Amino acid sequence: ISEKVVGLAYLANPFFGVFLHPYLGAWSDTCTAALGRRRPFIIALSVSLLSGVVLVWLGDDIIRWWPDSGLAMAVPLFVGSFLVDTSADLLVGPARSLLCDLVPESQMEKAN
């Protein structure tokens, strides 16, 4: 796999993060799920992160199912690394917000 493809995979996270971070934060602030405001996002992003890890881990087996081409080799790596990188980056927001939601007011300065 060329260095350009790997570079695109790592470039995708900051590009999408610029748009996804504010949207995800606003959405989690208004969430009324039974699990709370932050936990559904933490669970969904954790599943996405694990899916990306599995995709990268099994990428070699997935490539064997596809016809031979350079692009076919890049797809599992690109999608898997995008999911891992983006999900890990987006997990920080809801995790920090959950911490601030759970900490008593007297300890808020330490939590931040």
Task: Give the tens place of pLDDT for each residue, 12-67.
Answer: 888 888 888 888 888 888 888 898 888 999 999 999 999 999 988 887 777 777 76
Where do we find the tokens 């007297």?
Answer: 106
Kindly state the percentage of the chain with pLDDT values over 70. Answer: 88
What is the pLDDT at residue 4?
76
Model pTM above 0.85: no
Distance CA(62)–CA(58), nearest Å, equals: 6
CB 16, CB 86: distance < 8 Å: yes
